[in-house]
């Protein structure tokens, strides 16, 4: 009887020791979500539209430098197109949602929300140049999403999209800094981001 009690106590002790002692795995943080300009913060792969915090959904595109456009969807089914810059240091993403509208985001790899806010405090001006042409004015904001920092580019459908879809290369720069990114944008398939042409 004593032996059975000891065995039961030892079994219970081993069971309890194994429960809850392993730390919860950390969610991946290396796949940021875009923060398109006109879409509400808090959406995206962990929310309802293409702009929020959290980690990348399985359907999100993963572009590589020189690899052209990659296509996918956010968790809510919103189509997204993405292209890496020529150095691999940034990703430009564009999306259109029937619910949230259009949006474009530039994610600079390795930059935190604090660094982007310092680069572009309270929103800032920038430029976008198509195929080496004269730089055009661009309004930029930094959405409040610490786990998915990005620069939101304003006026995708009305201003950027008509020229981007015909261009081979675009360069985006932040005014009063030496920060810029160049993207090879040739060959985008407009049918993969429906709604931008309407």
Each residue of 73-113: pLDDT tens digit?
887 888 999 999 988 889 999 998 877 788 899 988 888 99
Structure-model confidence comparison of residues 1 and 75, the more confident one: 75
pLDDT of residue 110: 85
- pLDDT tens-digit readout, 20-66: 333 333 433 343 333 333 333 333 332 233 333 333 455 678 788 87
Report residue 125's pLDDT band, with 50, 70 and 90 as the boundaries: very high
pLDDT of residue 119: 92
CATH code linked to domain 29-186: 2.60.40
The neighbouring-strand residues paired with 171 are: 129, 182
User: What mean pLDDT value characterizes the chain?
Assistant: 74
What span, in angstroms and rounded, lies between the C-alpha atoms of 59 and 61? 6
For residue 163, pLDDT over 50 is answered with yes
For residue 135, pLDDT over 80 is answered with yes
pLDDT of residue 58: 56
The full set of domain ranges for the chain reads 29-186
Q: Can you give the pTM of this predicted structure?
A: 0.69
For residue 120, give the nearest of 194, 179, 185, 46 by alpha carbon: 179
């Amino acid at each position: 009887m004593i032996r059975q009690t000891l065995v039961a106590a030892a079994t219970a002790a081993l069971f309890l020791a194994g429960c809850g002692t392993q730390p919860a795995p950390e969610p991946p943080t290396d796949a940021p979500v875009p923060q398109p300009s006109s879409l509400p913060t808090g959406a995206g792969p962990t929310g309802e539209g293409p702009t929020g915090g959290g980690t990348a959904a399985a359907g999100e595109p993963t572009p590589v430098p020189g690899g052209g456009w990659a296509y996918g969807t956010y968790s809510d089914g919103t189509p997204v197109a993405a292209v890496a810059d020529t150095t691999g240091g940034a990703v430009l993403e564009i999306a259109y949602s029937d619910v949230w509208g259009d949006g474009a985001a530039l994610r600079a790899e390795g930059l935190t929300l604090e660094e982007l806010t310092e680069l572009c405090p309270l929103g800032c001006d920038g430029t976008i140049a198509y195929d080496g042409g004269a730089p055009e004015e661009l309004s930029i904001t930094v959405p409040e999403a610490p786990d998915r920092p990005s620069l939101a580019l304003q006026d995708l459908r009305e201003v950027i999209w008509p020229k981007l879809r015909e261009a081979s290369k675009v360069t985006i720069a932040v005014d009063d800094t030496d920060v810029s990114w160049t993207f090879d944008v040739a060959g985008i398939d407009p049918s993969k981001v429906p709604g931008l042409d309407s």
